[in-house]
Amino acid sequence: MLLAAVGAAALTGCQSARGEGSGGGLTGTALPSGYGATFLGAGECSSRGDAFREVSCGSEKAAARVLARHQGLRADGPACPPRTDFVLHISESVPAFDEDGDGAVPRGFACMRNLEAPHPGDPGKGGGPRTVVGDCVRSAREGQVRETPCDGSGGAAPEFEVAAAVQRRDQCPPGTRLYVQLGGDRAVGCARRV
């Protein structure tokens, strides 16, 4: 998960994750700036571009807000909130300045929401790290589907829309034609053909 260091300085690496959905392919380097007690803590904002920096949410450079921040690897941690637009993975490093003065920024991930549209994490918009009720999917390969915008603007027409989230397949409504793994306590997505 550790990304390339720039020059001789150790920087904090970030990259956008591609989860169950087709969230954007953002990559970059994050540099701590000291705005909060935790680098990119919940409620804080980041810039965007080649480097993700923590900035004041009132700054014209602010592009996204942290909805949730977790320690450790994403695979081992909790799911991001449903309206997450993209995920930044934060690698351990020893930056020149860190959030608590211990010389390190711990490995973790930040669930991010764009401050302005587009919001690929919204239901039906075709992206984000999670598939949620209201999202549309299309066939990707044998036994797999990929999110696509419900309005067809993503280059691939939607085939199914997730109409409900339930605990077990037998709880899906009549007309369900596809079961989609969602995660969480209502992990079965019941999708109908569009």
Kindly state whether residues 52 and 87 are assigned to the same domain: yes
Kindly state whether residues 156 and 95 are assigned to the same domain: no
Q: What angle do CA 90, 144, 162 make, to 5 degrees?
A: 85
Select from 123, 126, 122, 121 the least CA-distant residue to 164: 123
Task: Tokens for 163, please give them.
Answer: 């109409």
Average pLDDT of adjacent 10-residue blocks, the chain of 194 residues? 31 37 42 62 90 91 96 84 91 59 73 95 93 95 92 93 98 97 91 97
Total domains present in the chain: 2
Segments of the chain assigned E as strands: 12-15, 27-31, 45-46, 51-55, 64-71, 86-90, 108-114, 136-141, 144-148, 160-166, 178-181, 188-193
Last residue within a domain, chosen from 65, 81, 114: 114
Note the pLDDT of residue 47.
93
In a domain, 31, yes or no: yes
In a domain, 6, yes or no: no
Kindly state whether residues 103 and 180 are assigned to the same domain: no
In a domain, 4, yes or no: no
Q: Are 80 and 130 in contact (CB under 8 A)?
A: yes
Kindly state whether residues 17 and 107 are assigned to the same domain: yes
Q: What domain range includes position 154? A: 136-193
Kindly state whether residues 26 and 83 are assigned to the same domain: yes
Note the pLDDT of residue 162.
98
